[in-house]
Structure 1
Amino acid sequence: MTPVAETPMPTLLCVDDEQNILSALRRLFRGKGYRVLTADSGAAGLQVLEQESVDLVISDMRMPEMDGARFLQQVRERWPDTLRLLLTGYSDIHSIMEAINRGEIYRYITKPWDDNDIQLVVRQALEQRALEQERQRLELLAQRQQAANDAQAAANRRLKQNFITTIKILSSIAELRGTNLTGQSRQMADLARKIATQMQMDSKEAQDVFVAALLHDIGKIGFSDDLLKTPLTLMNGTALGQYRKHPITAEQLLMPLEDLRGSAAILRAQLERFDGKGFPDGLSGFAIPLGARILALVADYYNLQQGGMVQRHLREPEARSLILDGSGTRYDPAVVTAFRQVFDADGGDALAGVEVLSGELVPGMVLARDLVSREGLMLLAADHVLDARMIRQVQDFETKSGMRLPIFVQRKGVP
């Protein structure tokens, strides 16, 4: 059994040039559970304080060489946590006020004192001091806990950002084999997250949609180059069968990672149709996860423009028109509505931001899209706040590589 720690005995220091006063105070307080130290002058009292830990000082006002006001002032300056009481045997209001102002005393007590009164004053003073020390301890503990929480939150944010950056790098690697333009998966992910937000999905669900869009082609990792380049409308037989299984492959690749299981479920259902004519499970309507309904629309919107679905590369208005026409058959009408609302809200530019030259960048601008080199290397992630140093590095990169980077910043940062 762990022994209970005993509360230390409070220590009092009594300072007076009269020995009979010191003896009386020593007898009074020793019998009440206090440790009592004495000094016959202010200078001697300071010497005691330099050597002992004292909770409360009782000092006479009228003493030779150093009066009580001066002594208590030095106590306040050097040991501010030590409580200070003044004994005064005469009605000199000026001296009492001086002690109060210079020594910031807790109380003053007149001579001769009443034993019960002085004991009550000392007890109340020490109780108040204990309460204040406990308040300070709890406040410091709360500050330390908050600092620890803040540090943990910052670490979690870094881990989350590093996690997303890793996903984006994997997406860029997948794009190097596919037919999509560099950075298209990130554009798809941005649009998918906008639609998810428009449909009031919570942040975790929207994040799952975003990650699924980044990795929408990961199940094609084993496809031949010829199959990757073949539009969906030209596939048949074995090729079409292999294509329809890529969502299952994507799910299997991600399922071992607990944080990606939501995205894995979305990827499995990305080829399902709202009318039930999709693959691999023939789900229909609201049986299809909402994230998959969003991803199906967004993927088709881009694939129509890049030749992934039909031989001809459609212009953006044509692709958007086909998406709207597919409401209720291929696509969830509610997702189609959110898709249209996102475009309307962004003035026809749902992909985020305004394209600018590196020479037009100013500190404080925020990237609307990932900054990606022509080779597909991600230089900076979306939402990065640019500073002067980073702007110079971007400009130096362009100078050394001899090519202009596609830089998109959020509209609110463009004058």
Structure 2
Amino acid sequence: MSQQLEANPHSTEDAKMQKRYRLLFVDDEPNVLSSLRRLFRPLGFQIFLAESGYQGLDILEEQSIDLIISDMRMPGMDGAEFFERVEDKYPDIPRLLLTGQADLEQTISAINKGKISRYTSKPWDDNELILTVNESLKIRQLMIDKQNLTKLTESQNKMLKGMNQELEKRVEARTAELKQTAEMLELSFTQLNDSYLNIIRVFSNLIGMRESLDGRYTKQVADMSKRLAKAKGLDEHDIKEVYMAALLHEIGKLVLPDSIVDRPVYNLDRKSRGQYRRHPLMGQHALMAVEALHDVGKLVRCHEEKWNGSGFPDGLSGESIPLGARIIGIANDYFGYLYGRLHRERLSPLQALELMVSESGALYDPELINLLKEDVRQQKTEVLQPHERKLSTDKLTPGMRLSRDLYNSADMLLLTKRRVLNTTLIEKLRAIEHSDDVPFEVYVYEELAK
């Protein structure tokens, strides 16, 4: 008879990690099954037992199993035949063979036909067997992670496709503009293909295509976060992670309905506010499958936390909030006040700063508020830098290089800073300008604008 045993929770971190794994033990000797159960049950695994290969196949039909340990010599169906059938139907499950000293020929058969991962001689060493199981599960998890990386792009494409369909129904008047932007992005793709950071920025811009999520708002939050991170003395790697997390900090809002995203936070009812407060967690989940964005996902999760513990989703406080998340949170709230997301009226930069200074030590890290004051003072007037000039599109020539990001009239990012202009790009910019009837102000580097 097959048996299923639910494992007891274990206090160690390893047990928490292992509790989700499901192991199947197959042996015709009940005492061997009992020994395996006693060995692995305290480690937090979910255990399934079968006294024959046939029972093992029945369990596999009904349960999702992560690893199989089987004896070699069993009546009716030996371990080699059992694993051969498992290989045919469940090739991704790691397979470990228990074998006696006299089973060499049958072991070779199991290796050839059943493609077993490892084999262990009886009697086994407990520590060695545990280590072998853990290593096999780690390899399986790496394979699953690799598959998830492939699925991530597909799921994001489906998400964006659904968003575009909804946008087309509600904003048909902007179809031509979106088409122009898509053409511009396609033209940029070849040059951006090798630039990981620029791909993140383009994806952030796609998030901003949702009617209620402003692409320029996200870019302004990211730029301020980058400046504050530099002023705080973070190293280049951490500054880059803060910048990428700020670009993606609203990704979790893509799963929220328009009825929540379209309304300011202060106008949400209790139920809607509860859904809204999950968006940082959903943002981290969206990035989870990409290992390179693991730390970025942590910052996305924590950017709504507050210094006094009144934030969400985890109620962290003080320095338990990652520094990068504290920086993004301050930049996000500053522009939230300027754009009317957090206050019934749009506040001026001075009003927003005064309000946030009054909450220093309560909602915000006092040291970062001091850096914010200096940053706002420096950004108060936007003047031409010594190395740049402002031109109209009729003055542009091929070879000029942008000194600032370029947006259209709907605040959608068209071209990124340092992009070199060519004839095709200049013609497209003039066409968009003519279509929108709004002139561009293009900033280029001085040495190429003379």
Aligned 8 A contact 1:186 1:370 in 2: no
Using the TM superposition, give the Cα deviation of residue 255 of structure 1 relative to its aligned residue in structure 2, in angstroms: 1.5
Using the TM superposition, give the Cα deviation of residue 183 of structure 1 relative to its aligned residue in structure 2, in angstroms: 2.1
Q: For 1:141-156, what aligned pairs fall within 5 Å after superposition?
A: none
- Residue 191 (structure 1) aligned to one of 216, 221, 224: 224
Q: For 1:2-401, what aligned pairs fall within 5 Å after superposition?
A: 161=195, 163-346=196-379, 348-349=381-382, 356-359=391-394, 361=396, 366-374=401-409, 378-386=413-421, 391=426, 394-395=429-430, 397-399=432-434
Number of residue pairs matched by the alignment: 258
**2-side partners of 1:286 and 1:413: how far apart?**
46
Using the TM superposition, give the Cα deviation of residue 196 of structure 1 relative to its aligned residue in structure 2, in angstroms: 0.9
- Residue 405 (structure 1) aligned to one of 437, 440, 448: 440
**2-side partners of 1:368 and 1:226: how far apart?**
38
SS across alignment from 1:379? strand
Cα deviation 1:271-315 (Å, max 9, x = unaligned): 100112111111111111111001111111111122211222222
> Normalising to structure 2: TM-score of the pair?
0.51
Aligned 8 A contact 1:182 1:374 in 2: no
The amino acid across from 1:369 in the alignment is R
Using the TM superposition, give the Cα deviation of residue 357 of structure 1 relative to its aligned residue in structure 2, in angstroms: 2.9
SS across alignment from 1:230? coil
Cα deviation 1:354-402 (Å, max 9, x = unaligned): 8653345577865343223335654321233557885565445534664
The amino acid across from 1:312 in the alignment is E
Aligned 8 A contact 2:349 2:376 in 1: no
The amino acid across from 1:404 in the alignment is P
Aligned 8 A contact 1:178 1:228 in 2: no
SS across alignment from 2:414? strand
The amino acid across from 1:270 in the alignment is H
**1-side partners of 2:356 and 2:264: how far apart?**
17
Cα–Cα, structure 1 residues 383 and 335, in superposed 2: closer, same or farther, change >3 Å? farther
**1-side partners of 2:240 and 2:254: how far apart?**
23
**2-side partners of 1:234 and 1:168: how far apart?**
30
Q: Give the aligned partner of residue 81 of structure 2.
A: none
Cα–Cα, structure 1 residues 330 and 350, in superposed 2: closer, same or farther, change >3 Å? farther
Q: Which runs of 5+ in 1 are unaligned?
A: 1-156
Cα deviation 1:247-273 (Å, max 9, x = unaligned): 110011112112211210101101100
Cα–Cα, structure 1 residues 228 and 397, in superposed 2: closer, same or farther, change >3 Å? closer
SS across alignment from 2:238? helix
Q: Which runs of 5+ in 2 are unaligned?
A: 1-190
The amino acid across from 1:199 in the alignment is K
**2-side partners of 1:253 and 1:351: how far apart?**
39
Cα–Cα, structure 1 residues 178 and 414, in superposed 2: closer, same or farther, change >3 Å? same
Cα deviation 1:128-182 (Å, max 9, x = unaligned): xxxxxxxxxxxxxxxxxxxxxxxxxxxxx96652x22322232222222253444
**1-side partners of 2:446 and 2:314: how far apart?**
42
Aligned 8 A contact 2:222 2:246 in 1: yes
Larger radius of gyration: 1
Cα–Cα, structure 1 residues 168 and 341, in superposed 2: closer, same or farther, change >3 Å? same
**2-side partners of 1:363 and 1:190: how far apart?**
28
> Normalising to structure 1: TM-score of the pair?
0.54
**1-side partners of 2:447 and 2:211: how far apart?**
34
**2-side partners of 1:243 and 1:278: how far apart?**
12
SS across alignment from 1:177? coil
Cα deviation 1:331-367 (Å, max 9, x = unaligned): 1112112222223344544999886533455778653
Share of identical aligned residues, percent? 29
The amino acid across from 2:247 in the alignment is L
Aligned 8 A contact 2:205 2:412 in 1: yes
Q: Once superposed, what is the RMSD of the aligned Cα atoms?
A: 3.2
**1-side partners of 2:302 and 2:246: how far apart?**
12
SS across alignment from 1:183? helix
Using the TM superposition, give the Cα deviation of residue 246 of structure 1 relative to its aligned residue in structure 2, in angstroms: 0.7
**2-side partners of 1:238 and 1:414: how far apart?**
55
